[in-house]
Chain A
Amino acid sequence: MHIVVCVKQVPDTKIIKINPKTNTLDRRSAPAILNPFDAHAVQEAVKIKKRIGGTVSVLSMGPPQAVAIIKNSIEIGADRGYLISDRAFAGADTLATSYALSKALEKIQEEMPIDMVICGKHAIDGDTGQVGPGIARRLDIPPVTNVIEVTEVNHKEKKVLIKRKQINGYEVIEAQLPCLLTVEKEVNEIEYAPMPNMIKAARYEPTVWSVNDLNDVDKAQLGLKGSPTVVGKMFTPPKPEGGKRLEGTSDEQVRELVTLLAEKKNLFNFDVNNS
């Protein structure tokens, strides 16, 4: 069983600041981390490997510093890492990203056939969730998005049983291998990295490919050039008026609020005091 996990290095959006003058991201203000959803994707691949055996590879596209998240993935238990890094990839939107990653996956496939690709549900810097299903389309394998449980993997019969999150609940899906999954955080708990993995990760050097190392690449589909979407403008939305600021001591404010809510009671059809 060969599982490839696609991982992305992202700025920690909990910390990142926006430059209010230019409306751009101040990338220096935040540390670069392994996208949290991707960490769960790596963990799930490692879980499957522990259950039925196999190899877990991770693949990333990014600048040379993105080696750091491949090392993070090795700590979690991945066996191999690949980084595609080239100026030609820069500025890619989701369409150009899925193209570059699918070309790299084709190359990995030459080394060892791929049974499953796992991605995080989305990256916390873009929040799109479009790259995973895009890769599945390009490789012509079925996608199963929003996975909350990988119930069973049967490598012999080339089948996998999955729970997929839906609007109100979940569905149980049987998919043929090879397939692509995108995982929610609920899919597993990240385990502490065992010491041997950490030692391995510290020494690990991933395979790094430039665009010329990949086969049959149409460069017009890469990077900024290959991206149909552009950011037109960035703006802070017009501020609404804001409502009534309550005044007085905290006791007075609380009393006024409760009175105001009581006055509005005709608006509502619920029982606020159900104690």
Chain B
Amino acid sequence: MEEYSGVWVFIEVDEEKNIEGVSLELLGAGRALADKLNVPLAGVLLGDNIRGLANQVIYSGADTVYVVDHPVLNLYRTEAFMKAVILLAEKYKPEIFLYGATPNGKDLASAIATDLSTGLTADTTMLDIDLEKRLLEASRPAFGGNIMATILCKKHRPQMATVRPKVMKALQPDDSRLGKIIEEELELREEDMRTKVLEIVKDVTKKANLADAHVIVAGGKGLGDQQGFQLIHELAETIGASVGGTRDVIEAGWLPHELQIGQTGETVTPKIYFAIGISGAIQHVVGMKNSEIIIAINKNPEAAIFDVATYGIVGDAHEIVPKLIQQFKGISKGDLSYV
């Protein structure tokens, strides 16, 4: 195991050849882990005609960038990407390997972990190092709920984890940073591929809005029923906010799947987040706790949501929210125009 050294980050690139935000965040988190272990941080950059992005990976924290540039790697496909990553991992032997918990990152990491017979922790929200044992401590909400579990991979390398987007912090890019770019050749043939991406369709509906929203009004089971949940829609409409909900709300069918906020839904970081009738289970909180201002309205004064709230109102949503709507409506535009 001693031959394994260094922290790696898989750099995900979208079809317009932009590096995904989560990969930059992971370079930030990976930098801290690598410094703690006193080893280099590397990015793994795969694609077609993506060499030019290698410097950006270095500016964002990496010491080394491993590049495989090949036409077959143009759009993500498990079989092609897997071959390239396995080639690199077997040759250079990292001790830690992080991926964004995106559809592609999770898919790729699962295939790699199987191939390398190593451990993989899913949807991590906290990363640390046990320096004495040189172990990665990858923590995540467990049991769909209220508790965190730290997962360790003691006897296999690399130690791998997928990490939720928008949880870690990217570094300020520094274009004076220097690093090594190592390009590897790999023989890949299109005719060996068993999948083809025929088309990419960008969604311009609610889900995209939720991730970019400045203000979100989110509701939980505390609203009582679907009719009670109408208050959430009304408040959102009054202040021009997007609507979201907890896992319970989505499972009850009050909102469509794409509006779920939390561990298994979207992670959001709006300027203002209203959490109404939401108890504050960890699996929800990890998806919204980085919002700038969190306003909690809940009738249970002990509710965990108050722990993460900037402002808390203890009271029945059915009484408070209509008053809130009235107040917002009554305010002249000049008084509350945040432009």
Contacts and interface: CB of A to CB of B under 8 A. Distances in A.
Interface of A: 13-14, 16, 18, 23, 25, 36, 93-95, 98, 122, 124-134, 136-138, 141-146, 161, 164-176, 179, 184-186, 221, 227-237, 239-246, 250-251, 253-255, 257-258, 260-262, 264-275
B151 A229 contact: yes
A137 B115 contact: yes
Nearest to B330: A258
Contacts of B313: 245-246, 250, 253-254, 257
Contact of B197 (A125, A173, A235, A272): A173
Given A166-B200, A171-B197, A230-B151, A273 B239 contact: yes
B110 A23 contact: no
Interface in B181-229: 194-203, 207-208, 211, 214-215
Interface string B172-185: 00000000000000
Interface of B: 14, 20, 75, 77-79, 82, 102-104, 106-107, 109-111, 113-115, 117-123, 126, 137, 142-156, 194-203, 207-208, 211, 214-215, 237-240, 247-248, 251, 257, 263-264, 271-272, 282, 289, 292-295, 306-315, 319-320, 323-324, 327-329, 331, 333, 335-339
Contacts of A228: 117-119, 153-156
Contacts of B263: 127
Nearest to B214: A270
Main SS at interface, chain B: mixed
Nearest to B247: A14
A28 to B, nearest CB: 14
Given A130-B106, A168-B203, A271-B338, A122 B314 contact: no
Contact of A270 (B75, B114, B271): B271
Given A122-B264, A173-B198, A228-B117, A236 B148 contact: yes
Contacts of A165: 103
B323 A14 contact: no
A221 B110 CA distance: 16
23 contacts: A95-B114, A122-B122, A130-B110, A133-B110, A134-B113, A167-B103, A172-B198, A172-B200, A174-B195, A230-B152, A230-B153, A231-B150, A232-B152, A234-B142, A239-B307, A241-B307, A243-B311, A250-B319, A257-B313, A270-B215, A271-B338, A273-B333, A275-B240
